[in-house]
Structure 1
Amino acid sequence: MKAIRIGDKYQVYGDSLQAYDSIPPYTYNVRFDEMTGFYLKARSKLTVNEKIYGVHPEKAEKVLKSFSMFERNLGVILSGEKGIGKSLFARLLAGKAQDAGYPVLVIDQFIPGISNYIQSIDQEAVFLFDEFDKTFGGVRPGDNETDPQASLLSMFDGTADGKKLFIITCNSLHKLNDYLVNRPGRFHYHFRFGYPDIKAVQEYLVDKLDAEYHSEIPKVVLFSQKVALNYDCLRAIAFELNLGLPFEQAIQDLNIINMGSERYDVVLEYRNGMALVAFNVSLNLFATEHPKYLWLEDEEERSVACVEFDPRMIKYDESRQISLVPGEKIKLSYNDHLEDPTIVQKFKDMIPDYLSITRVGEQQLHYWTGTSDNKQLGRNRRVFQSRHNEVPF
C-alpha cells in the first residue's frame, strides 16, 4: 500500500504506485478523465523504420541543437499536403528528442483547459500536436469560449523555466491562426514539405522496385512531372510494378486519377540559348485527342510565337532531368503583327532545340535567394523573374 499526500488530503494506492520527481523520458498521449482531470498515458516510442528521403535527419538535429541553446520555448511548424513526409519527420524528431532525454507528449485531440495543463509541466519537454489544423482549427468554440488556437498563443510564447519544444503538423496553412504564421518569436522554424522531386522519385523507385522492373522508372518519372505524386502514390505504384505490370496498366487501377488541368511552366529553348516562355499555364496533358496550343513570350512580355505540340510526344530527358518535346516535334506560328518586325524575324532565324514542360508546385513560401534544384528552369526564371512568384533579393 502507498499513501499520497496532496495538500491536506491523503489518497491510498496499491503497491504498483511509483512517484517521480519529473516525467520520465518516454512517449505519452495526453488524455482527460472527467473525475481525475488530465493525465499521461504511456505509448510506444515514435520511431522511423524505413529509409528517409531528403534532408530530414540534418534538420531534426538542427532543431534539437537549437532547443538546447534557446532560453525560451521553441516552435516548429511542419506543413504540406498529405503523404509527403510531415508525420515521418515528426516521428524522427520526436524519437531523437526522447533519445536525448526529453519526454514526448503527443496531443492529438482538443481538450478545454489543455493549455493550463501543459504550462503546469515545469520541465523541458517536447509537445507534438498532430494535424493541428484539424484538431484545433476545426473546433468551433461555444458561447463565451476562446478560440482553441487563440487559447494556446500565450503558452507558445513561454519563457525561462520548463522551456518546451512545440511541434505542430498541418495540411492547410489557411486553417492556422494568423498569429502563428510569420511569427518566429512563437514558431522559430517552418519546414514546408513539397512533393518528391525527380531525384527523390528515382531514388525511391530504385530502392523499392525489383531490379528487373527498373526499366519502368523513366515512365513514372515522366508521369510525376505531369501529376503531383506523394510518397503514398509512389508506394502504391512500386507495389503494382513489382507484380510485373507495366506502368501503363498499373496506373489504370490505382486510386490516382485525373482531376483535370494542372499548371505548368513551358519554355521553348533555342539552340543559341535564347528562349520564349509561358509561365503558370493550365494544361491537361492527358487529354490527347487534340494538340495543345500556347502563346509564348519574350523577356519583354511580347507574344512572339504560338507553339503547337502533341502531349504524347513528351518524353523525359535524363541528361537534362526535364520533360520535353524535341524541337522537331513542335510547330511554331510567329506573330507577324508586332510593331517591330525585326523581333519576330530574329526568332524565326533561330533553330528550336526543345520545349520543356515543368509542373508548377505550390507557391514558394520561403524567400528565394538565387539557388534552385532545377538549374535549367532556375536559369529561365531568373531571366524572366518579373513574371514569377518567387522573390529574389
Structure 2
Amino acid sequence: MTSTYIETGGHVRVYDDAVRTHLEFPLGTYRVHFTSKEGFSLIKIDDLTVGTERVYGGRDRKVDKIFRSYALSDRSLGVMLSGDKGIGKTLFLRMVAEEARELCLPVVIVSEDNDGIVEFLESLDECLIIFDEFEKTFPAGRRGSADGTNRQNQFLPLFDGLSSVKRLYCVTVNDIADVSTYIVNRPGRFHYHMRFEYPGPDEVRQYLIDQAPRAHRDEIENVALFSRRARLNYDHLRAIAFELDQPDTLFAEIVEDLNIKAVEPSTYRIEARFPDGKVWAEEVEMNLFERGDVARTFELRNANRSIFATFVPRDLLFEADGGIFVPIHKLELIDDEDEQPEVYPTTVALILVGQPAYGFGF
C-alpha cells in the first residue's frame, strides 16, 4: 500500500492512496502526535542540527559507517546508542539526523507511547525513526509500567527489518539493563550497538583547549588528571570550561562550587602488588568524593584465600600522572581468619574503570 501525506498548519497526516497531495514523504523533521479524537499524525518541528559545536572522539566516522551500511542493506537497519546521560548520545543523534536529511530521508521522532504506534510507524515510507530514551518511554516491565507489561516487545516485528519499506531506526538508551532481552544482542534487529563511554584525559584536554582558550595550561592539565579519578561527562566539561575561561581561575577552587559532585559510585579496579610479584585484583564500586572520612572496605581474593582491606578516602594519594594509591601504612588488612596477613602488599592502586582512550566505544 502506498501512503499519502497531507500537510496543513504544520501537521502532516497519513492517509491511504485514496487521497493524494504529496506523492512522497515530505522532507523535514517530525514528532509523532496522538489524540484520542484524531489518532496519529506528524507535527513538523525544527530540524535537529549540530550547529558549530565541535564533535570529539571520531564520531563522524561512526555516522559514515551507519549510512554506508544502510545504503548497502536491502532491509531496514537498527542502531542502538547506549551510555549514561551527558556523554554525547543526543549530539550523535543530531549528527545522524543531519546526514539523513542530506540523503533526503525525513526524520521522525517518537517520544510517547500509545496503542497503535507500531502500525502507524509501519505506514510511513522510507525515513529515519528516532526513539530517544527508549527504555524510559517504553518500559520493559521490570521497573516500568504498573501492570508489568513489556511495552518494548511491541516493536519487535518493526525492528526485524522485514517490512516492505526500508527504514533506519535509531534508539538511545541510558540503562541497557532496562532494555528487552529480545532487543539486546540481536543484530538482526539492531545491527549496531554503539556504546558511549566517558571522555578520557586526552579528549578532556582537547575539549578544554578548544572551549576555554584563555585557561592556563596547568589548570587544563589538572582537569585531565582529575578525569582519571572521577568520571566527567560533557555537561561537566561544559561548566568547567566556562569557569576556566575566566581570569585567574583555579580548577581546585571551582570544583568545590560546581554542581558536579560525584554522587554516583564509580567502578575501580583495585590492584594489590605483593613482594613476590603477584597481583591480586578486584573491581569494586565506590564513591571516593563524598564522606571522605568514612572507611571503605573491599575484598581481594586469589585461588586459595581472601584479604579484607580497609582505608579512608581522605588518605588516598593522587599522583601527578593520575594514579591513585592507598598508603600501605594507612591500610588495615585482615585475612579470612580475622588475622593480619603474614605478607603485606607493597602497593595498592585504584584504577577508574570504563574510560577508554576516547569517549566513544563500539
TM-score (norm 2): 0.77
- Cα–Cα, structure 1 residues 29 and 246, in superposed 2: closer, same or farther, change >3 Å? same
Of 25, 36, 39, which aligns to 1:37? 39
SS in 2 for 1:72: coil
* Structure with greater helix share of residues: 1
Alignment of 1:326-341 (within 5 A): 330-331=328-329
Q: Report deviation, 1:133.
A: 1.0
Q: Who is 1:129 aligned against?
A: 131
Of 347, 353, 361, which aligns to 2:354? 361
Q: Distance in 1 between matches of 2:318 and 2:304?
A: 26
User: Do 1:285 and 1:311's aligned partners in 2 also have CA atoms closer than 8 Å?
Assistant: no
Q: Distance in 2 between matches of 1:293 and 1:34?
A: 56
Q: Distance in 2 between matches of 1:213 and 1:226?
A: 21
Paired-residue identity, % = 34
Tell me the C-alpha RMSD between the 2 structures.
3.9
Of 56, 61, 77, which aligns to 1:58? 61
Instruction: For 1:251, give the aligned amino acid.
Output: V
Q: 1:213 aligned to 2:219?
A: no
Q: 1:242 aligned to 2:245?
A: yes
Q: Report deviation, 1:240.
A: 2.0
Q: Tell me the alpha carbon deviations over residues 115-139 of structure 1, each in whole angstroms, 9 at most, x when there is no partner.
A: 1111112x32110011111111176
Number of paired residues?
Answer: 333
Instruction: For 1:89, give the aligned amino acid.
Output: F
Q: Who is 2:80 aligned against?
A: 77
- Cα–Cα, structure 1 residues 44 and 261, in superposed 2: closer, same or farther, change >3 Å? closer
User: Do 1:75 and 1:186's aligned partners in 2 also have CA atoms closer than 8 Å?
Assistant: yes
Q: Distance in 2 between matches of 1:171 and 1:333?
A: 36
Q: Distance in 2 between matches of 1:155 and 1:231?
A: 33
Q: Tell me the alpha carbon deviations over residues 290-316 of structure 1, each in whole angstroms, 9 at most, x when there is no partner.
A: 89887867x767669979897453123
User: Do 1:233 and 1:256's aligned partners in 2 also have CA atoms closer than 8 Å?
Assistant: yes
Of 31, 48, 65, which aligns to 1:46? 48
Whose RCO is larger (CA < 8 A, sep 6+)? 2
Q: Who is 1:315 aligned against?
A: 319
Q: Who is 2:261 aligned against?
A: 257
Q: Who is 2:104 aligned against?
A: 101
Between stretches 280-289 and 192-201, larger displacement belongs to 280-289
Q: Report deviation, 1:155.
A: 1.5
Q: Distance in 2 between matches of 1:114 and 1:256?
A: 38
For structure 1, list consecutive stretches of 5 or more residues without a partner in the other structure.
1-5, 11-17, 338-343, 363-371, 375-393
Between stretches 33-42 and 69-78, larger displacement belongs to 33-42
Q: Tell me the alpha carbon deviations over residues 330-349 of structure 1, each in whole angstroms, 9 at most, x when there is no partner.
A: 559999x9xxxxxx99x99x
Q: 1:19 aligned to 2:21?
A: yes
SS in 2 for 1:210: coil
Q: Report deviation, 1:166.
A: 0.7
SS in 2 for 1:128: strand
- Cα–Cα, structure 1 residues 231 and 23, in superposed 2: closer, same or farther, change >3 Å? same
Q: Distance in 2 between matches of 1:155 and 1:206?
A: 44
Q: Who is 1:182 aligned against?
A: 185
Q: Report deviation, 1:280.
A: 1.2
Q: Distance in 1 between matches of 2:18 and 2:306?
A: 83
TM-score (norm 1): 0.71
